[in-house]
Amino acid sequence: MEIKISMIKELRAKTGAGVMDCKSALLESKGDLEKATIYLHKKGLATIAKRAKKVTSEGLVESYVHFGGKIGVLVEINCETDFVAKTPEFQVFSHDIAMHIAASNPLYLKKEDIPPKVLKKEKEIYRAEPKGKGKPENIVKKIVEGKIEKFYSEVCLMDQLFIKNTDLTIGQLINEMIAKLKENITLRRFVRYQLGEKLTPKANEKT
């Protein structure tokens, strides 16, 4: 069947996939936009799984200084090749991540970075209220689990909703870029400076 340019443009706008990928998906799905979207999603997941073990030794350190010069961010984002690191897509993506960090102030890169004692304290706080109201243990457990997930989404960069598209977490945004650029991408570390803040060790700084 004939695949019109308008169909390709619509699918690109919806998925962010390349022109040839969109054309192939539309051919595969006989012009059905929804089926083509699912096809590209599955293909993207396959790409992510395939690239997950690839070494990311290239990339860049991106900076962002908020208007007024009172908040600044440095973030290191790695990819497989210098070629991809120099593409406009990767550079815009890196800048968006730095800007997101400036706005959202994550405390940790991922949930595994949260010190056990911090997590334990949070759980104790979340347990106290329902426990004090006499809620049964199974209900208390569900409440704590829900609040811990919310806590992750507030303090862990990978779990935060992207400020420019709140349908995606930062982790999901990275996966979309992996599928789009066909290279493994890792967000290695970041540091956020705010004028006048106390000088304390940054939980996300890794050696």
Residue 122 confidence (pLDDT): 93
Q: Determine the Cα–Cα distance for residues 197 and 178; give it in Å rounded to an integer.
A: 35
Backbone angles phi and psi of 201, in degrees to 5: -60, 140
Buried b (16+ CB within 10 A) or exposed e, 117-155: eeeeebeeebbeebbeeeeeeeebeebbeebbeebbeeb
The reported pLDDT for the residue numbered 204 is: 54
- If asked whether residues 89 and 104 sit together in one domain, one would say yes
Q: Is residue 74 part of a domain?
A: yes
Same-domain status, 77 and 134: no
- In 3D space, the residue among 118, 117, 121 whose CA is nearest the CA of residue 107 turns out to be 118
Whether residue 205 is contained in a domain is answered as no
Average pLDDT across the chain, whole number: 86
Same domain, 15 and 37: yes
pLDDT above 70 covers a percentage of the chain that reads: 88
Whether the CB-CB separation of 47 and 175 falls below 8 Å is answered with no
CA distance 53 to 6: 37
In whole angstroms, what is the distance from residue 142 CA to residue 148 CA? 10
Residue 122's domain is classified under what CATH number? 1.10.286
| 178, 47 Cβ separation under 8 angstroms | yes
The yes-or-no verdict on residue 48 having pLDDT over 70 is: no
pLDDT higher than 70, residue 52: no
Q: What is the pLDDT of residues 112-154, one digit of tens each?
A: 999 999 999 999 999 888 777 778 888 888 999 999 999 999 9
Closest CA to 157 of 112, 106, 111: 106
Amino acid at 50: K
pLDDT above 70 for 76: yes
Q: Residue 93's domain spans which residues? A: 58-110+156-194
Question: CA–CA separation, 153 vs 148, rounded Å?
Answer: 9
- pTM reported for the whole predicted model: 0.71
104 plus 65 within the same structural domain = yes
Are residues 172 and 79 located together in one domain of the fold? yes
How many domains does one find in the chain? 3
Report if residue 34 sits inside a domain.
yes
